[in-house]
Structure 1
Amino acid sequence: MFTEQELVELISQIAKGNEQALSKLYDNTSSLVYGLALRILNDAFEAEEITIDVYMQVWQRAAEYDPNRSKPSAWLLMLTRSRAIDKLRASSQKKRFEGKLEIDTPNSINDPQESSFMIERRKAIQSALAKLSSQQRQAIELAYFYGLTQSEISARLGQPIGTVKSWIRLGMIKLRDFLKSFEEK
């Protein structure tokens, strides 16, 4: 097991693009990362996914690590915790969204007129989403269907947070305009 100082040096080497340093860091700390992810998620497969995500994030953001702010192990655990909680949020949002879709299905609605309205509404929303740019649609879906914050979307898409905010804001304005005619019916 490496000391904290040796881990700092490995992260420094990773920031310079040293893949062997990443491999050494993984070999020496992945059980710590996996263990925390497993405790949070209670799912071995998802914990493995989070572990991989964390080391991908280390590879991409090693230059941002500041040894004066935290120990390497604390930094890794913070990244793990953040990713695992994002995963919990996303899966709970997805379940909630899927549950809403089930509630809105024609089979669960007794009134044929209301059933028809729900089908039309769903089609209008799908049509409106299809009219957005792919960036706007993806940002809105991550925010509203998967529960990610704007900073999480920014990190996931590799775009500045200002860009993500613009995509969401402009996309929502377009959706409102597209759906205004549906609401007036």
Structure 2
Amino acid sequence: MPGDPPGDNVLIRRIAQGDEQALSQLYDRYAATVMGIALKIVRQREIAEEITQEAFWRVWQRASTFDNSRGNCAPWLFGIARNLSIDELRRRAARPQAAYEDPERPLLEAIADEANVEEVVWLGEQRSVVRSAMQALSAEQREALELAYFSGLTQREIADKLGNPLGTIKTRVRLGLLKLRDLLGTQQWNE
């Protein structure tokens, strides 16, 4: 539709052509998520803000290298943020750390659990991609799937809750899952 915002891949093509407005739109769309990824890994707001800025700077510089045949650009952007964050952790590990801890400098709380960080971030990225795909479903399909998978209701319970016939709910769930499979089938879930 003419009033709909442009898709991510349209924005990335425009960014590759030097369109600053497209970068601004992409930033508005994903800055909070990128910041969340960085903050989860580095656990320092100032550094996470710098990583967020650097991630979008790299998108600006490298937009022409993005291969849209691999799917949406969001996982690519999130991967940039994740890699920058992990690089920051590695830089910190190479620097000497203070040997004291006081209430204003909680040294032990600032140490990231590197064994789980990548998994947590990757799951967050997957959730974000799935949430975006869910928005492409009809309201009825989305509602039925959310009640089934996020609220744990059976199809009978969903039918009773919504006042719809069981067959209608089964159809909505099946068609919604098929559409999600098609939408998410182009995503790259493995690195």
The structure with more radius of gyration: 1
* Higher RCO structure, 1 or 2 (CA under 8 Å, sep 6+): 2
TM-score by length of 2: 0.47
TM-score by length of 1: 0.48
